[in-house]
Chain A
Amino acid sequence: MEQADKPRHYRHELPVRDDNVDSSFKYEVVNQVGGEGLLNCLKCGACSGGCPVGSVIDYRPRNVLGQVLLGLKEEILTGESIWLCAACFTCQERCIQEVNFTDVVTVLRNMASREGHAAPGYLKLAQMVLTNGRVSARTQLVDRMREKLGLPPIQETDMERLRKIMEAGGLVRVLEANVEKEEATE
């Protein structure tokens, strides 16, 4: 994830040559749930124009799409750019070609996560869910506030079933892959 030597983090080496690209990458994306729209992209930039992240930092969804279409697989899956989308779905609403950028981002993030390149912040949240069943911990202080407000006691979470789902679905494996990756790079 960290590329401290490249302040403009999503810029690749130019010019891009054939041996720097994986031309089958876009088809890998297209064949996954949510990735179907990718090849429709006209690179018109409507996605970048409405992006709330692009209005505060140097981030352009069109650039991400361009890199994926070009086949810069390594750059995309190990880089930070796919983790900068705030998932507001504005670009998805405005895209005249139904590229569904936000869904494409999910496909890319899933691929990156399986290889151990998930955003540490999200891994931490997922670990919390695997432990508590919720993304936030229950505290005695909040329990008392609930009582004072006349709210029913907070429910226990169905951890047994949740854990089975997270294991059978592969999410636990994804968490492990990222821990291993982190240990290997230390």
Chain B
Amino acid sequence: MKRAIAWGCLIPTRRSLLGYEASTRKVLEHLDIETVDIPDETCCAPFWMQSLDLATSVAMAAKNLAKAEEMGLDLITPCSGCFHSYKRVNHVLETYPDMRERVDDILRSAGLHYEGKVEPTHLLDFLYREVGADRIRQKSTRDLSGVSIGLRYGCHMLKPHELLNIEYSEKPTFADELLEELGITSVEYPGRHRCCGGLLRGAQDDVADSILHERLVDVDRAGVDGIVTVCSLCHLQHDMGQRSIKRKYGMDELDIPVVHFPQIIALGFGYSPEELGLGLHTMKTDQLVAKIMGGGHR
């Protein structure tokens, strides 16, 4: 199986997200999925950019899809913002002929064309539907039982529901199944499907803080060993943002490790925490990692 892969802006350039890239690469390699990075990838123009001008934003996202189309490959992305943008391109082009003409014109000015043939898939959806829970269990060598986590699906992979269309978008469980295959206990806690406020970062920082504060209180009450995220913004909010929330709300005792979904899968596959960038997050992951590593082999 071969796929083009789009990393987005943040994953390759932010310290705490490098582990997302490293673990995604390791997991896909371990599952014998061949990937090609979108050449010279540029910003996918997500919701905040669409706020400034929708037509330009759709064309900006289509530019990366055009590269995948040239290679004749469907696309995987671990970034929920990118996933949302790329899905939107295909939807807009199919639904609005005038907009399609406009986007065609904009792309032509850059010597590009996008027909609309690339199917964008979120990494998680790919692991669930294309690879499957059985294969992930077969490939895993480390027993992760005894570890309890809170899995955050984030918003932009799931909503609107037409994006994935796997199950009820407000209470999904498909990705919990994958973790449970490795022995993990995924705790359903109140607030885990609520917005993290990430998209208000930079525009309305106080509101973004208030929302994040609510989310962190939710996780803290759940008493889990850590949170698992599948979205770049969710991770930046919960991990890097946690430090400023501790300070702003005087929550000195708050100490929740936040790891990327494929980091957990890769640990299950037997990779070491070091090669998965688990030491690069803002909140220390040591305790969670120690608990995982203490589980032995299966």
Contacts and interface: CB of A to CB of B under 8 A. Distances in A.
Contacts of B208: 86
A90 interface: yes
B55 A170 contact: yes
Contacts of B200: 53, 84, 86
B211 A124 contact: no
B195 A133 contact: no
A interface residue count range (under 10 / 10 to 19 / 20 to 34 / 35 or more): 35 or more
A134 B42 contact: yes
Contacts of B22: 149-151
Interface in B7-58: 9-10, 12-15, 18-19, 21-22, 25, 37, 39-43, 45, 47-57
A155 interface: yes
Contacts of B96: 33
Contact of A55 (B10, B106, B107, B214): B214
A86 B197 contact: yes
A138 B211 contact: no
A14 interface: no
Interface stretch (A21-29, A61-69, A70-78, A106-114): A106-114
B296 interface: no
Nearest to B161: A93
Contact of B53 (A150, A162, A170): A170
Contacts of B10: 135-136
B99 interface: yes
Contact of A135 (B9, B92, B109, B275): B9
A165 B107 contact: yes
Nearest to B56: A169
A19 interface: no
B277 interface: yes
A87 interface: yes
B210 interface: yes
Interface string B265-279: 000000000010100
Contact of A151 (B25, B105, B109, B161): B25
B42 to A, nearest CB: 4
B169 interface: yes
Contacts of B198: 86
Given A133-B42, A155-B39, A157-B42, A142 B202 contact: no
Nearest to A108: B51
A34 B105 CA distance: 20
Contacts of A151: 12, 18, 21-22, 25
Contacts of B53: 110, 113-114, 169-171, 174
A129 B156 CA distance: 21
Contacts of B14: 136, 142
A92 B159 contact: yes
B110 A164 contact: yes
A149 B18 contact: yes
> Chain B CB within 10 Å — which of A157, A164, A165, A167 has the most?
A165
B40 A89 contact: no
> Chain A CB within 10 Å — which of B42, B110, B111, B200 has the most?
B42
Interface of B: 9-10, 12-15, 18-19, 21-22, 25, 37, 39-43, 45, 47-57, 59-60, 63, 92, 96, 99, 105-107, 109-112, 155-156, 159-161, 169-170, 194-195, 197-200, 202-205, 207-208, 210-211, 214, 275, 277, 280
List the 7 closest A-B pairs by CB distance, nearest first: A169-B56, A89-B159, A88-B195, A158-B40, A121-B203, A134-B9, A56-B210
Interface of A: 33-34, 52-53, 55-57, 83-84, 86-90, 92-93, 105-107, 109-110, 113-114, 118-126, 129, 133-139, 141-142, 145-146, 149-152, 154-162, 164-171, 174-175
